Every structure is written in C-alpha cells, then in structure tokens.
Structure 1
Amino acid sequence: MKPFSDLGLSPQLLQAIHQMGYEEATDIQAETIPNTISGKDLIGQAQTGTGKTAAFGIPLVERIDTQNDSIQALVIAPTRELAIQVAEELNRIGQFKRVRALPVYGGQDIDRQIRALKKRPQVIVGTPGRLQDHLRRKTIRLQNIQIVVLDEADEMLNMGFIEDIEAILAQAPTERQTLLFSATMPDQIRKLANKFMIDPMQVKVKAKEVTMPNIEQSFIELAPNQKFDVLCNLLDIQSPELAIVFGRTKKRVDELTEALNKRGYAAEGLHGDLNQSRRDTVVRRFKEGTIDIMVATDVAARGLDISGVTHVYNFDIPQEPESYVHRIGRTGRAGKTGVAITFVSYREMDHLRYIERMTKKKIKREAIPTINEALEGQQFTAMENLRSTVEEKNYGSYRELAKKLLDEHDSIALVAAALKMLTKEPNKTKVSLSDLNAPGRLRTPKRKTERQTFPKTKRNTGKGGSYASGKQKNRFFDKKKKSKNR
C-alpha cells in the first residue's frame, strides 16, 4: 500500500482524505488514481469493499475545474442506493475543493431534482433510467462532460440497462475519459468497452484480496424444506445484533420477511419493487437497530454502507462467486469479525465447490443446529442479560420487591423464574412458503445447469439488553458438550 501523499494529489484533496480517515491507498486506488489523473481510459475489475469508489472518486474530483459551473463528470450506477452512496462520498472527497455532486434516480420527485440541478453541480451520479429522462427533458446536458464512470457495469447488464447506457454515452463528447468498473467481465461488457473506450488500461484486484479473511465462513447442507427452521434456530443460537438474510428473488424476500415476523423476529424486506421512501425507511430502521434483520436481494443490497452487521445468512446460494463475495462483504468491516453462513442443498454442492475455487477460500461445513441448541442459545442470552443488569446496578427501585419475594420463595427458584421469563423460547409457528419447492437454476461452468429447489423466509427480534457474541456462546456450548462426554 502507498500513502496518498505519494500520488500527486492537491492539498485540498489530501486534507479531505485525511479527514475521512483514509491513511494508505488500497491496491486498486494506488494503480487507478495516477493513471486516471493523467487522463487514460481505465477498466477496473473489483468488487465492493476494495475501495473502488475512492479509486475513481479522488482523481475525478481532482480533475474538476471549480471555475467552470457546468456538468463536467457523470457517474452511472445501477441502483438508487449506490447512486446516493457514491454522491455522498464524492461530496466528502470534494468538500475542501468545493466540488459538488448530485444524485439523480427514479423514485424521487423529478421537479425536486430539476431545482437541485439549477444550483450547478459539477458531478452527476445517476441511474440509467432517470438520466435518460433528464436528457429527454434537456434538464441535463452532456456537452461539457470530460469524464464518464460506469460503476458496477455487470449489475447494469443484469438489470437490462445496457441499451440505456449506450444511448447516454452516445450523447457525451467523444473527446472524454471513460472509466468502467465491474466485478465480472462478460462478453457484453467487453463489447461495450471496445465500443466506447480508447486503449483502456486494465486494473484487476485478485480474488485473494477480496475474500475477507476476518469473516468466519461456513455452510450447512440441508434439504430445502429445512431451511426456514434452521435459519430460526441459528438466529436463536447466535442472537445477531444486526443480520442480513439474502434471498434470490423479490418473492422470496417478501415471504421470508413475513414468515420471520410470524415467528417473532424483527425483520424488514428490501428489494427493487419497494418505492424509494419505503427503502429509505427500511435502511434507516436497520441502521438505528429498530429492526435487527434485513431480508434482501443482491441488487437491493448493492451499495449499502451499514456498519455493525454481525451476521450474513445466504438463505439461497448466490449464482456467481462475485455475488457471494459481495454478500458476505456486508459483514466483517472496519477490522471487526463477522459470520457468514450459506444454506446448500445436495444438488448445489458442486456450485459451492466452484465458489470455493473462484474465491480461493475453503468454506467450513457445519452441522444442522438442533431445537435444543436453539433453546440453550436463548437461555444463555437471557443469563447474559440478567448478569449485565446486575453489573450495571440499575435495579435499585426493585430491591424492596426482591426482599419481599425472598421471604416467600427460594432464591434459586426466583432466579430460575426470571431466566424463564427472559428466555425467548423457539417458536414453531407454521408458516407458508409457497415456492419452497419451486425450481431455480444455477450457472456452474463446465457443466449443464441443473434444476434446483429454493425456499423463502423472514425474522424479527426485540432488543432488550446486551447480546452475547456467537463466539462466547460457542465456548458455552463446547463446555456443555465436553461435560456430557465425560
């Protein structure tokens, strides 16, 4: 890694970078920043979590002429969430240089965006559909564009935006710099690069650099109709502070969310069919800890920057290794450890091995948790909650009541009753998951696609006290198991 001071940046940018807490450039930043400042077209192959937004954002802001109040740079992103996140980071990078970035995306009042455009931002970050809308209205003009960035190009391909992107690029000046970032490089992305880029430099982050060693990765092999009960048992055993459950489809997310709430967990769903206001509410509640489980599709979770996610559950195995890396990268951030567990059916084992080969990471097998382990997990959480309340000494007004009860009952009986009241016992409420046995398809190279089965689910848990960490509980269970074996 290189210090940013070695990359030829202006004092205003170095000041902003320092204030943002960046110390050294990541590999992709060290390679991308100098070459982008020099004006070269560039293709960067990198996933979320490698620092790619700053990799293109720092040189983009550096190249902006603050004396020119026209739109000089355009970033095209696949989702509203990513557009907002990128614009926020560009504004932080440009705070001392006084460079302004504006996000434009569907779901927000277009008249509000038009009013914001009149304040003359130098950078526009937008989703393809809304950008096309502004171009048709002539509320955004591209004649002075010097830099175009395509962020997460493979996702835009998957979402059917390639024709929109080509139409947008066709309206930008031919004398411009183009940067393209993508986790994968399918043929259509390469064709797009060949059509709109001039002799681009290629920067690729190796798989070993993005598999995140601070994440404890494991899988559970099980039948599709076991998934939901196993998920609930894991939630009861591990008591995650913040968890994301990934489902493959919007319908799966809706059913998982409903089913989890029926079981008494605090869960909200996030997918592309939600309006912007609803999406913002879900993300805000998750960040604030009002809910502790978010059920999401891959696309909806793109660009989410949420600290404190302790667990990721892949209810459906992702189709691509890059999606797997992106999903588990929601946890284990800022030097903290995280847990990622993937549910795999017998038919999906070959696909899991393919993910292991591509990510160069062996994923540990775990046994299916039992209902008794789930109960023990909740009992342990109740015990920790009771212990922490005692240690905090905030029970003064209850002392007289306690004395009265001790005159009537044995102390052990009273503590046992308190623990029983605090324990969230496993809920076996029946839930309906309509596509539990619906067929799906996985794309594993070098073999024909196989028929798969996939289910759906959801969760919700109240906050009430401190949670014991998964590792603490594992030590607790290990001791119990050893004592039983003696």
Structure 2
Amino acid sequence: MSTATISRVAAARKNQSKDQKPKIAPPTATFSDLGVDGSLCELLKSMQIKRPSEIQRACIPATLAGRDIIGGAKTGSGKTAAFALPILQKLSEDPYGVFAIVLTPTRELAFQIAEQFRVLGKSLGLKDCIVVGGMDMVEQAIQLSKRPHVIIATPGRLHDHIRSSADAVHLSRVRFLVMDEADRLLEPCFAPALQAILSLLPKKRQTLLYTATMTNEILALQHQEKRPFTYLCDMSVSTVPTLEQQYLFVPSQVRHVYLAHLLRSDDFKDKSIIIFCGRCDQAQLLTVMLIELGIDCTGLHSHMTQQQRLNSLGRFRAEVVKILISTDVGSRGLDIPSVEVVINYHIPRDPTDYIHRVGRTARAGRGGRALSIVSEKDIQLIQSIEERINKQLEEYKVDENAVLKELTEVSTAKRVASMRIIDIEKRSKKRRKTNKESRS
C-alpha cells in the first residue's frame, strides 16, 4: 500500500468517525440483537460462535436493511459470515436461484467460502455451485443450469460460461453480488470479466464489497450516488505483537541445504509450517526435494491441477502433513488456524506481501514464528520490510558445521528432484500428444 493510499485510508476512517458515524451494536451484542433469525442463531450457538465480531456487528444489520456495503477488516475477522448470514436469512424468506453471486480472486478462497455457506445453509437446503478454473466446465454448466441459490466463482471462469451461453447462467434476478478480496478483484486484469458479469446483473440488487486492504479504487466507491454503508475496522497492514520475526543469513547457492537443516532441527520438527517460494517451479522443486529427503510435505501452486491443490490444502488442514510449500496463492484469504511457523524461502519484493505471508501464523491472539532465509541479494528487501513493519528482525543462528555435513545429501536430493520433474513433464507432454492424436 503506497503512502498516499495509507493517508487516504486514515482520512476515510477519520471521516467515518466524525461525519458518517455509523452506529454499530456494542461488543456485548448477540447475533439475535443484530437481527439474525432464531434458526441461524441456534446453528451459530451449536458451532460455539457466541458473539459477533466487529465487522459482523457493523455490516449484518446494514445488509439486512438493504444497504450496499463496503466492509474493511483483516483476514480472519469474520468477513465471510458478515455477508453469508444476511444472504441466507433473506434467501429463507424468498428462496429462488440464482439468488446471490460471490466473486473471489482465487480458486482456493472460493472453495473456502463455499464450505462456510454449506455449513451455515445446511438447514435451508442450500444449493451452491463453485465456478472456478481447473475444473470440468461441462459439469459446471450442468450445475449452473439447475439454478443454484448461490454461485461462488472466480471472474474469469464465470466469464467463460457467459461467453459460452449467457442465457444458461440465469443472472437476471440476482439479489446479492458479493466481491470478497475486492481490492484484488478491482485490479485491471479482472476488468473485462467483471464488466461482462455486471452487464447481466439487475440494477436493483445489493452489492457487498469486502476487503482486507483498502485501495484508491474502493475508497472512490464511497462517493457513488447510492451511498454504500462503509465500515472500516482497524485495517493497518502490520504484523502482530505475538509474532516472533527472525532472519537467517545464508549464501544464496546453498539456501536449500539450510532449509532442510532447519526442518530437521528440534526447533522446527513436527511444527505446522508454511514455506513460501517466489515461483511455481521453485515450489515444485522444493516439494520433490524434501520428499526425496524423507521430509513429508505437500505443495500449493498453479502448476498443480485444482483437485491436487484442494487435496494438498485438505491434507495440511487436517494435519496429515505438517509442511505446505506454497507460492503467494496461499498468503491471503485462506484461513488455516493451526499454522505455527512461516518460512520465507524467497523474500517478497513488496513488504505488503511479507505481511500477508507472515499473517498466516500468530492468528487470533496465538503466538507464531516467521523466519526469513536471507542471502546477500536480499539485504535491501529485508531493510524495506523492516522499515514498513517498524521493527528489526532478530537474527537466527544455526551450527554452520552441522549444515555443511548435510550439503552432499541435500544437493544430491535436489539434483534427483530436478530429474524427476523433467521426467514427469516429458511423460505429461507425451500423454497430451497421445490424447490429441486419438481425438483427431
């Protein structure tokens, strides 16, 4: 977030507090006090969700009252329930499909949102449809033709269906449009798909925008003719006091050796860990290398099929595997509460990306650790991060002699991993060629 944007966010919050003064229920309020009906309140109680969060106290009553919403709150603050509960309540009063569309920038977040809708909407007989890339488009078209109550989609794949057959998507009676992670959805890359989707939606609808990062584009929406209810929680993009932040300085050529040593050490063994890489091929190589070394792990990146990505997330969430190796696809939106450690195998160029990455741990008041593996090429990046978070990272030291003893073993595993990936890619190309020839 630029300095100018930070200033505008601060001004927006100041304006919110002085001029608009949105009245919200006190922290002692119950979901019933917000206007949530009895059956949903009982369900929440059975799930041990007793008190609404700040964003829920602000936005649920306004949504039930028919207002458009701009809701700003950090990841993990209960944004999904803030829009799902009023949508489900209104749906129960007048059930039809398609009642609501939820747009999100990533496939994984779409599945996560769908899970929450299914849990909260089970007693209503909710029918939902997930429309994302990497899945069978024909099967999705069949599900869309059945007019589900709620469509959870990435803009690109929903746009594909509209281009294929706009009449088959049935968007003319949509009551709610939700844009989750709205800051990313309003980026230029999504513009063509969004324009196509919006052109098919009725003008008389509620639009609910939720974001963990405020941008100029979202701030500008506050001043539309149909003024949305705007509530910004504390959205300062920063790290939390319960997070221990460290760095390990290593020569760039042997970064992989130090990582393997760390994962085998008592400090990190049996911990729930997300390792962030800069690129998909790097994440894939690390995953295969660590498995070759007998370190159980799983990957999450866009070179995997959607089913593979879902399986990986499921195994990590269930703690079947303790280590997830991810690109930045796993740094925002995903709620995995049990993560104890985040390791930055590659340092991100944008300090905001660092904050989102390390925000996967030390959640909801719990402690956590973030360790960044820093080489001689990363010094300026680390200095930018320290300036942004207003904190110096503490140095983490290892026994250099112990690391050197593992050099041959780990380097051999890395070479084997590279050869295996090349072999997999060759077989995959051959399979695709065979399939293409059989169809022609």
Q: Shared fold by TM > 0.5?
A: yes
Could you list the per-position Cα deviations for residues 432-462 of structure 1 after superposition, in whole angstroms to 9, with x for gaps in the alignment? 989xxxxxxxxxxxxxxxxxxxxxxxxxxxx
Distance in 2 of aligned mates of 1:43 and 1:76: 15
Q: 101, 105, 110: which one pairs with 2:137?
A: 110
Q: 1:293 aligns with which of 309, 323, 331?
A: 323
1:7 is displaced (CA, Å) by: 1.1
CA 1:197–1:92 in structure 2 vs 1: closer, same or farther (change >3 Å)? farther
Which amino acid counterpart does residue 63 of structure 1 have in structure 2? K
2:52 aligned to which of 13, 21, 25: 25
Q: Per-residue deviation at 1:108?
A: 1.8
Secondary structure class of the residue paired with 1:14 = helix
Residue of structure 1 in register with 2:276 after alignment: 246
Q: Tell me which residue corresponds to 2:289.
A: 259
Check the 8 A contact 2:72/2:213 in 1, yes or no: yes
- Give the alignment of 1:62-211 within 5 angstroms: 62-136=89-163, 137=165, 138-157=167-186, 160-189=189-218, 193=221, 198-207=226-235, 211=239
Counterpart CA distance in 2 for 1:126 and 1:29 is: 23
Give the counterpart letter for 1:430 in structure 2.
Answer: S
Q: Does 1:325 align with 2:306?
A: no
TM superposition shift of 1:44: 2.2
Deviates more, 1:143-152 or 1:177-186: 177-186
Mark the CA change 1:103 to 1:281 in structure 2 (over 3 Å): closer, same or farther. same
Q: Are the equivalent residues in 2 in contact too, given 1:312–1:328 (CA < 8 A)?
A: yes
Which secondary structure state, in structure 2, belongs to the residue aligned with residue 64 of structure 1? helix
Q: 1:225 to 1:109 in 2, by over 3 A?
A: same
1:185-214 deviation digits (Å, cap 9, x = unpaired) = 3445556x4798832233223246974444
Counterpart-to-counterpart distance in 2, 1:24 and 1:345:
46
Q: Percent identity among equivalent residues? A: 35
Measure how far apart 1:329 and its partner are. Answer: 3.1
Q: 1:220 aligns with which of 238, 242, 248?
A: 248
In structure 2, list runs of 5 or more residues that go unmatched. Answer: 1-26, 416-440
| SS of alignment partner, residue 98 of structure 2 | coil
**2:80 maps to which residue?**
53
Distance, in Å, in 1 between the alignment partners of 2:90 and 2:369 is 40
Q: CA RMSD in A?
A: 3.3
The match for 1:282 among 308, 312, 324 is: 312
One-letter identity of the residue aligned with 1:161: F
Counterpart in 2 of 1:480?
none
Q: 2:70, 2:210 within 8 Å by CA — same for their partners in 1?
A: yes
1:226, distance to aligned residue in structure 2 (A): 4.6
Larger radius of gyration: 1
- Report the Cα offset of residue 28 of structure 1: 1.6
Q: What is the SS of the residue equivalent to 1:160?
A: helix
CA contact (8 A) 1:243 1:309 kept: yes
With the length of structure 2 as denominator, give the TM-score of the two structures: 0.76
Any idea what SS the aligned residue of 1:299 has? helix
Instruction: Quickly say closer, same or farther: Cα 1:39–1:67, change in 2 above 3 A.
Output: closer
Q: What code does the residue aligned with 1:252 have?
A: Q
TM-score by length of structure 1 reads 0.70
CA–CA distance in structure 2, aligned partners of residues 272 and 287 of structure 1: 19
Residue matched to 2:35:
8
Q: Say if 1:47 and 1:322, in contact at 8 Å, map to a contact too.
A: no
Cα 1:197–1:12 shift into 2, 3 Å: farther
Check whether the contact 1:154–1:185 (CA below 8 A) recurs between aligned residues.
yes
Residue 18 of structure 1: CA displacement? 1.5
- From 381, 394, 398, the equivalent of 1:369 is 398
* Structure 1 SS opposite 2:411: coil
